[in-house]
Amino acid sequence: MKKPEVNNSIYYHLGRKWYEADDDPIALLRAEARFRNPWIFKQMISQGMKQGKSKLLDIGCGGGFLSNSFIKKGVQVTGIDISEDAISIAKHYDTTKKVHYLKGDAYNLPFLESSFDFVCAMDFLEHVNSPEKVIQEASRVLKPGGSFFFYTFNRNFLSWLLIIKGVELILKKTPRNLHVYHLFLKPKEVQNYCNNHNLKIKNFQGVGPKVFDSSFLKFILKRRVPSNFSFTFKNSLKIGYLGHAIKE
């Protein structure tokens, strides 16, 4: 039986939903970004980030949730995505107009080796058929000693239940095959891919929604994502997880 293809075409037509929709899974992506970005920035500072000089590449930048935040923190940011619609929205919401956005392929990044101090791939590795190729390219354009940050979903029954079936059940506008189970990645798999391309995992950090929170209850009852919907760190990597790897 043929495995289902992930439905990446939805990111070609979201428009302002990237920033305005609360009845679409993209609102969960916004909430995740609000939670993740400070953690990533803290790691960057610990790795010697230089204000105004350090360069960051945001692979699969989408609507610019990471890029538009980090440009305000004194980082030189380049955002790349295959969707022209997403890039247009990202540019529109870049109040600084300083992020370098461009259309491009994550399997064949249009940059020279050792071009960036930091590379990010948020909510991206589970959307491609060859995540190792993305990691290989991330490593190629990363300077020695630079950091690769990623966020993806583990592959197990709990993640399938929450990330796929749970979201489909609660948010009725969830497109078919927004995520597909076989593309979820076990941490060990990502670690092996990183090892194959001179990236050493520094740490994994489990992430999940704050379930004992009024915003989570509103999410279930109203079938919309409240503006204060939030995520938290988990002791387990069973659902989603952040990763930080350093190029050797």
pLDDT of residue 1: 74
Q: Domain 8-247 classified CATH 3.40.50.150?
A: yes
Residues 6+ apart with CB under 8 A from 98: 71, 77
214 alpha carbon, distance to own chain's centre: 25
Residues 6+ apart with CB under 8 A from 9: none
Rounded Cα distance between 109 and 147, Å, is: 17
Selection from 57, 146, 50 nearest residue 100 by Cα: 57
Rounded Cα distance between 76 and 78, Å, is: 7
pLDDT per residue as tens digits for the range 64-115: 999 999 999 999 999 999 999 999 999 999 999 999 999 999 999 999 999 9
| 242 residue type, one letter | L
Helix, strand, coil abundance in the chain, percent, nearest 5: 40, 25, 40
Q: Are 222 and 171 a contacting pair, CB within 8 Å? A: no
pLDDT per residue as tens digits for the range 177-230: 999 999 999 999 999 999 999 999 999 999 999 999 999 999 999 999 999 999
pLDDT of residue 2: 83
List the domain boundaries for the chain.
8-247
**Three-class SS state of 218:** helix
